[in-house]
Structure 1
Amino acid sequence: MPTHDDVDAFLTDTLVGRDPSLDAALAAQQEAGLPAIEVSPVSAKLLHLLVRISGARRVLEIGTLGGYSTIWLARALPEGGRVVTIEAEERNARLAHDNLSRAGVADRVEIRVGRGLDVLPTLVGEEPFDLVFIDADKESNPGYLDWAARLGRPGTVVVLDNVVRAGAVADPPPGDTKVAGARAGVVMLGEDPRFDATALQTLDRKGWDGLALALLTDAVASGPDPRPTRSDRDH
């Protein structure tokens, strides 16, 4: 019987195909020793289509890594569109810039380097984002979602990746902060009136996981101030 890897290979070959720039980005990421935690090709194509379906012109990505998903997001933008992507590690940001340049989309992307919860407040006052993709440290998911609501508008699309964690989200093991953060993000999407959300399990070359998909409602301005306090930063 075919396995989920066989199905993923079929779907990738049939619906996504191969791209030299994307292949080069993954090769450069592997050569640099970065973890292979980028989204799968079929998930990347989903992000690409969501940008196009929503008509997004301004996209916020939290978690750049080597820029693989950033390339997909940038390619989906209309003329004049822009991706702002946040990456905590300077080394990763340099690699991502090289990959974006090779793919011909660097002019549509601004990489901001720093811890997500420190960089996000600097975006206040800019035009709202039409789509937000969150794929960074899972422990900060509730804070990232708060900022997605504050930096978006009613109708903004929010995608939260890695929410199933091989099923552990349903019964988090003690001490696993990544699973706890993933679960807290899903619970927040279900309880916070700023979001109307659902989630899907996925099974592909990355294993058993899933993503949550939400729209911001007209309650965007509500909610607590997610900016870290001095005591939070000290820890």
Structure 2
Amino acid sequence: MRMLSAEQYVASLTEPPDPVLRDLTAETVATAPNLQSTHYEGLMTAMLTRVVAPRRAVALGTFTGYSTLCMARAMPPGGRILACEINAEWAAVAEKYWARAGVADRIELRVGPADAFLRDLPGDPPVDLAYVGADKVNHLRYYELLLPLLRPGGVMMIGDALRGGLVLDQECLDEDVVAVREFNTAVAGDDRVHSITYPAGDGVTIVYKR
């Protein structure tokens, strides 16, 4: 009998995606670049959302909406997500599946650049939970714009921390990889937060504001 890998074993212990998530994944794979969150990453996002129990959350770079959908399902009653996606076609896919899942009333979506979205975002009430999945070159910029909006004890999740393992290759000078490598180093040394990088999917950095 062939032994399961650690990844396969962990996957066997998680609840499977429901029809909405399965269909969203299928449409994303068929019509958009390979930027989709894995189901395991979605479950982890939902778990952290339940732990934080945010009244106000922010999602940058929602893509076709998988992670934001998982967050919205895990929000407490009355919780709201302010979401931003620069690509109108991907945003339309996200809105379709949010409506199908019955969570559209929990999400306010803006289509446009993330930095403008963040600059216009009022700091009161503060943000309890943030998810960043937008363009990697500007991750550090988004982090610095988000951190003042985050309440003490608030949590930020930043995706794509490993870039397929390329962050380990110092000879890889791809713009996105260099940006993520520099971002990871900056956050690890930031005394305003506690942080940990977790190797789920393509990696996620979890930040807790002191």
Q: TM-score, normalised by structure 2?
A: 0.91
Residue 141 of structure 2 corresponds to 143
Residue 173 of structure 1 corresponds to 171
Q: What is the distance in 1 between the residues matched to 2:166 and 2:12?
A: 30
Q: Secondary structure at the match of 1:16?
A: coil
Match of 1:53 among 51, 54, 57: 51
Matching residue's letter, 1:212: T
Q: What is the distance in 2 between the residues matched to 1:154 and 1:171?
A: 35
Residue 84 of structure 2 corresponds to 86
Residue 23 of structure 1 corresponds to 22
Q: What is the distance in 1 between the residues matched to 2:171 and 2:118?
A: 30
User: Gapped runs of 5+ residues in structure 1?
Assistant: 218-235
Change (3 A) 1:134 1:171: same
Percent sequence identity over aligned pairs:
30
Whether the 8 Å CA contact 1:16–1:42 is kept in 2: the answer is no
User: Gapped runs of 5+ residues in structure 2?
Assistant: none
- Cα offset for 1:192? 2.4
Residue 108 of structure 2 corresponds to 110
The aligned length equals 209
Match of 2:132 among 123, 131, 134: 134
Residue 43 of structure 1 corresponds to 41
Q: Secondary structure at the match of 2:76?
A: coil
Whether the 8 Å CA contact 1:149–1:194 is kept in 2: the answer is no
Whether the 8 Å CA contact 1:168–1:179 is kept in 2: the answer is yes
Whether the 8 Å CA contact 2:65–2:95 is kept in 1: the answer is yes
Residue 64 of structure 1 corresponds to 62
Q: What is the distance in 1 between the residues matched to 2:51 and 2:172?
A: 40
Whether the 8 Å CA contact 1:172–1:179 is kept in 2: the answer is no
Deviation string for 1:108-166 (max 9, x for gaps)?
Answer: 00111111112111113442111111111111110111122021111111111111123
The reply to whether residue 216 of structure 1 matches residue 186 of structure 2 is: no
Whether the 8 Å CA contact 1:65–1:96 is kept in 2: the answer is yes
Whether the 8 Å CA contact 1:145–1:185 is kept in 2: the answer is no
Q: What is the distance in 2 between the residues matched to 1:167 and 1:201?
A: 10
Q: What is the distance in 2 between the residues matched to 1:181 and 1:195?
A: 20
Q: TM-score, normalised by structure 1?
A: 0.82
Matching residue's letter, 1:210: G
Matching residue's letter, 1:61: A
Change (3 A) 1:24 1:126: farther
